[in-house]
């Protein structure tokens, strides 16, 4: 995995960065291969799985905790302290919950005012380099699209760090697919409820 990225406006990712489709397709295929290998004899059931099938959705915020260590129910969180800190981590004490797999292709800031100047990630024992995102301030809802994907397997540690430069609310959305071994966990919970 090369680790390169592109900064682009979220609404124009598909038009302005067509390579994203290739990355997302490769990510989805790798995620499906991992799920078939790990969750056999279950088969892929798409967005409407039935019987012994696993399902697919976009990445759900409930799989992550915010900077105050509370489980997210939306992508919005409130920055109350400045400086270097973890702003998002796996909801299961820093790990992705069992029975879920996430393909990470990028992230988007869904607000015009960006309250962080740098980000970096750690996935399991892989520490990814810092990304200076000061350039993002000139974009409306900027997205950071990775030139390669990252798989967040079930029970894998995930931390997103940032250097917070302003207090207030910030919406940061992870981009990519998510697979769910037990679809009923998604179908029977209320919207905004914690996933277990």
Residue 15 buriedness (CB in 10 A; 0-12 / 13-18 / 19+): exposed
Report the number of distinct structural domains present in the chain. Answer: 1
Residue 10 lies in a domain: yes
- The pLDDT value given to residue 187: 47
Residue 191 lies in a domain: no
Residue 58 lies in a domain: yes
Residue 75 lies in a domain: yes
What percentage of the chain reaches a pLDDT higher than 70? 89
Q: Which of 57, 111, 66, 107 is nearest to 86 (CA)?
A: 66
Cβ distance 60 to 187 under 8 Å?
Answer: no
Mean pLDDT, range 156-180, rounded to an integer: 94
Residue 50 lies in a domain: yes
Report the distance separating Cα 182 and Cα 188, nearest Å. Answer: 11
Q: Which of 54, 56, 81 is nearest to 66 (CA)?
A: 81
Report the distance separating Cα 73 and Cα 67, nearest Å. Answer: 13
Q: Which of 173, 175, 176 is nearest to 87 (CA)?
A: 173
Residue 158 lies in a domain: yes
Q: Which of 57, 56, 77, 82 is nearest to 65 (CA)?
A: 77
Report the distance separating Cα 99 and Cα 180, nearest Å. Answer: 6
**The domain containing residue 14 runs over which residues?**
5-182
- The pLDDT value given to residue 191: 58
- The pLDDT value given to residue 21: 79
- Record the tokens describing residue 166, joined without a space: 């302003």
Q: What is the pLDDT of residues 13-31, one digit of tens each?
A: 666 667 777 888 899 999 9
Q: What is the pLDDT of residues 131-166, one digit of tens each?
A: 888 877 777 888 888 888 999 999 999 999 999 999
Q: Which of 62, 52, 93, 90 is nearest to 182 (CA)?
A: 52
């Amino acid at each position: 995995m090369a680790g390169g990225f592109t900064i682009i406006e979220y609404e124009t990712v598909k038009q302005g960065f067509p390579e994203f489709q290739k990355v997302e397709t490769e990510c989805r295929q790798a995620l499906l291969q991992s799920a078939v290998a790990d969750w056999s004899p279950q088969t892929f059931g798409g967005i409407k799985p039935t019987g012994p099938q696993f399902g697919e959705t976009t990445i759900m915020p409930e799989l992550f905790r915010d900077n105050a260590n509370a489980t997210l129910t939306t992508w919005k969180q409130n920055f109350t302290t400045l400086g270097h800190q973890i702003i998002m981590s796996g909801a299961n004490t820093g790990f992705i919950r069992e029975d879920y797999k996430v393909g990470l292709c990028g992230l988007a800031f869904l607000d015009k005012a960006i309250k962080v100047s740098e980000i970096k990630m750690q996935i399991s024992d892989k520490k990814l380099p810092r990304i200076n995102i000061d350039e993002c301030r000139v974009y409306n809802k900027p997205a950071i699209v990775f030139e390669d994907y990252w798989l967040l397997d079930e029970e894998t540690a995930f931390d997103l760090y940032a250097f917070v430069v302003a207090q207030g609310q910030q919406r940061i959305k992870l981009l990519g697919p998510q697979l769910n071994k037990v679809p009923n966990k998604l179908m029977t919970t209320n919207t905004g409820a914690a996933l277990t």
